[in-house]
Amino acid sequence: MAKHTTVLDVVERHLQFPRSRSGGVSRRLQENGLLPTGLRTAAPDLDEDQVIDLVIALASDVTLHEAADAVRAFHRMTPGGVHLEGAPQTIPNAPIAVSILVEDARAGVAVPMQERSVA
């Protein structure tokens, strides 16, 4: 978990999204219940999935009012675009697939995408 303000600083420094843009997108995600709002006196903590959601919204290069929809669309995506209507909940979606890649990167595992199985 990382403080919201720290995440915005890191996004600006390492991903080069201006703080004004990431702050605006972040507020829209908060207004739509996709990121926590925290208290007036303390910034909220963001988990890895929420950080990924923020990066997805920024990378989608959509208008502010479309940011939450872009994240929701990402949540509905599946690896390879497979249609999962009626499939068991254990079938991974795009956020799960990205989380697996993050964990592999953290552990130093290098597996080409062609060999990867997220099921």
| Same domain membership, residue 54 and residue 100 | no
Tell me which residue range forms the domain holding 4.
1-76
What was the pLDDT predicted at 1? 87
| Same domain membership, residue 67 and residue 84 | no
Q: What is the DSSP pairing of strand 45-46 with strand 2-3?
A: antiparallel
| Same domain membership, residue 31 and residue 88 | no
Please report, for residues 11, 70, 90, 107, the alpha-carbon distance to residue 57 in angstroms, rounded to integers and kept in the order given. Answer: 12, 6, 25, 26
| Same domain membership, residue 51 and residue 18 | yes
Q: How many structural domains compose the chain?
A: 2
Please give the model's pTM, rounded to 2 decimal places.
0.75
Cβ count near 7 (within 10 Å): 22
- pLDDT per residue over 2-53, tens digit each? 999 999 999 999 999 999 999 999 999 999 999 999 888 888 999 999 999 9
- pLDDT per residue over 44-86, tens digit each? 999 999 999 999 999 999 999 999 999 999 888 877 777 767 7
- DSSP annotation of 83: -
| Same domain membership, residue 85 and residue 62 | no
| Same domain membership, residue 55 and residue 67 | yes
